[in-house]
Amino acid sequence: MRAMVLPGPGAPLSLRDLPEPTIGQGQIGIKVAACGVCRTDLHVVDGELPDIKYPIVPGHEIVGTVVEVGPGVESVALGDRVGVPWLGSTCGLCRFCRSGQENLCDHAQFTGYQVDGGYAEYCVADERFCFPIPPSYDDVEAAPLLCAGLIGYRSLRMVADAASLGLYGFGAAAHIVAQIATFREREIFAFTIPGDVEGQAFARLLGAVWAGGSDQFAPRALDAAIIFAPVGALLPLALQQVRKGGSVVCAGIHMSDIPSFPYHILWGERTVRSVANLTRDDGIEFFHVAPTIPVRTTTRPYPLDEANQALRDLRDGQIQGAAVLVVS
């Protein structure tokens, strides 16, 4: 099979011909149709995350068809269309798994990070951690829902009571969150890279009542903010933007160092918290909600062998919505 392989940190991906993966107990073999290109993939490529398995096939927003079923598989059948997310497996035994916090499992395995992902014609996944894809989405539309959608939705749930919400970094996750929040009659304020006029117009198109650069302040204090951009310097800015009692959620898996800031911008019972990974319950709930709104993803497709270009465009802020590799 063809696959784009990351040989080591900082290296370009290499197109290789690999053996089709073999499946084991509880696993399914998937013919990949599409795989989203996520900012977390950049963190993997850049070696910014710990314990990356090299060489690795990146990609954790996978949509495909089940072509092989391993022993013990019960919930998935040949021919089913499924989505494979970032959370690939957990131990099921630790305190986190037993308390509904499987996203914090110390023994979790992550797709495209510690197990090979979807930048390939075929992949293997644990059937228990896959999701059926609603029929109203085609393969390319559905791919960004598997991470940008799920992490965005989990972040939004943490500030569910916020009537006004700031989104820092208007990329794949924010363009999905904005649709859900506006459907629920929340006011969205979008903060983009300074000078990104096109990104600000895109945010307004998706319902933002205000859009400006991250170096600007919205016209009034907000109830909450979610930071999707991996930029630590945004945290003090977001804290200054939210009212007393407000919350700031850091939604990325990696962020540059947070600079020191005066205590008074945190004072007033403001809250800072992070989002880590996702749970299967997040996915079940999200894939019920998304088609009812309906959430629509804006995508830019690339062939599999142009994965390096897709990553460059994402890094350079050239993508409105999400980049998606069209595999088969």
Q: Sketch the domain layout of the chain as residue ranges.
A: 2-145+277-326, 150-274
Largest Cα–Cα separation, the chain: 58
pLDDT above 70 coverage of the chain, percent: 100
pLDDT at 282: 96
User: Given pLDDT bands bounded at 50, 70 and 90, which one contains residue 328?
Assistant: confident
**b/e map 75-109, b = 16+ CB within 10 Å:** ebeeebbbbbbbbbbbeeebebbeeeebbebeebb
Count CB atoms within 10 A of the CB of residue 260: 6
Q: If we measure between CA atoms, which residue out of 238, 203, 21 comes closest to residue 116?
A: 21
- Look-up: residue for tokens 């198109």? 205
- Residues 282-302, mean pLDDT to the nearest whole number: 97
pLDDT at 103: 97
**pTM, to two decimals:** 0.96
* Domain 2-145+277-326, CATH: 3.90.180.10
Let me know if domain 150-274 sits in CATH 3.40.50.10540. no
Q: Mean pLDDT over all residues of the chain?
A: 97
pLDDT at 299: 98
